[in-house]
Amino acid sequence: MSESITNSKGGAESPSFINVASLARKNVRAILFDMDGVLFDSMKNHAEAWVRAMEKNNLVMTHEDVYMNEGRTGEGTIDIFAQEQWGRSATKEECEYIYKVKSDIFNTLPHVEPIVGALELLQAVKHRGIERVIVTGSGQKSLLERLEKNFPGIFKAELMVTAFDVKHGKPHPEPYLMGLEKAGISAEEAVVVENAPLGVQAAKAAGIFTIAVNTGPLPDKVLYDAGADIVFPNHCALLEALPVLLV
């Protein structure tokens, strides 16, 4: 691990180029991107929507809980809290209803913007001839439908894995294994860009080199503890390191 300077999150500043070079990846054919918190600055809205939707259904979920559970499918998230607080699993109908309430609240919140630097990072990856794959635990159609508008020509519909495609959400490796399968590549030919601890766990369980970009409130240590190979404070820092990291 690189030497680090403590920042406001209690983590590390951008890794030095020397340390990035020691982790350089060769022959990368695809980069698998999470969506919320990696492409869209949407986690604040997700957190608010989850907290309010759960409260309306007699479940307690804090904003921190949302960030720690980011990456699970909606059904998986609801069921965990139902088991803890109701003493039983949520029914399929309950999950569908609560998730609809959450989605409806989300759609009333302020407009979500792309993460600063995300488009430039994606364009740089495309320019290098590296395929781009979406792997998200989200089923938020309002964001999925915006991918082409905000990131034109970057993603292909056949190279997306969402909550609608998987049985097991993150931290299970299924979403990333499915991403590899859709891209027709091995784990050694891929890199993942994540922002959430459960997403990092899923990517590492699938055997993929994992970059974390810490766009949320959690300390860098949480991402390193989840297994991240390297953590950047933002997309601009990752973009600057890209020529050294991908050789």
Supply 117's token pair: 């630097």
Of 50 and 11, the one with more pLDDT:
50
Supply 92's token pair: 């399929």
pLDDT level of residue 245 (50, 70, 90 thresholds): very high
- Is it the case that residue 78 has pLDDT exceeding 60? yes
Which pLDDT tens digit goes with each residue over 55-65?
Answer: 999 999 999 99
pTM score of the predicted model: 0.86
**Percent of the chain surpassing pLDDT 90:** 81
Q: Alpha-carbon distance 224 to 194, whole Å? A: 12
Could you tell me which CATH class the domain 43-106 is placed in?
Answer: mainly alpha
Fold matches, 17-42+112-245 and 43-106: no
Q: Which residues pair with 132 in a beta bridge?
A: 31
Nearest to 106 by CA among 73, 82, 142, 158: 142
* Contact between 205 and 171 (Cβ < 8 Å): yes
Mean pLDDT of 110-135: 96
User: What is the pLDDT at residue 12?
Assistant: 53
- Is it the case that residue 8 has pLDDT exceeding 50? no
Q: Alpha-carbon distance 210 to 199, whole Å? A: 9
- Is it the case that residue 18 has pLDDT exceeding 80? no
Looking at CATH, the fold of the domain delimited by 17-42+112-245 is given as: Rossmann fold (3.40.50)
Mean pLDDT of 1-5: 34
- Is it the case that residue 3 has pLDDT exceeding 60? no
Mean pLDDT of 208-218: 96
Of 164 and 222, the one with more pLDDT:
222
Q: Alpha-carbon distance 233 to 13, whole Å? A: 7
pLDDT level of residue 9 (50, 70, 90 thresholds): low
Which pLDDT tens digit goes with each residue over 167-209?
Answer: 898 999 999 999 999 999 999 999 999 999 999 999 999 999 9
- Is it the case that residue 1 has pLDDT exceeding 80? no
Classified as helix, coil or strand, 23 is coil
Q: Where is 191: in which H helix or E strand?
A: strand 190-194
pLDDT level of residue 2 (50, 70, 90 thresholds): very low
Sheet with 30-33, edge to edge strand ranges: 160-161, 131-135, 30-33, 190-194, 209-213, 230-232
| Domains of the chain by residue range | 17-42+112-245, 43-106
Q: Alpha-carbon distance 38 to 178, whole Å? A: 19
Nearest to 217 by CA among 51, 47, 61: 47
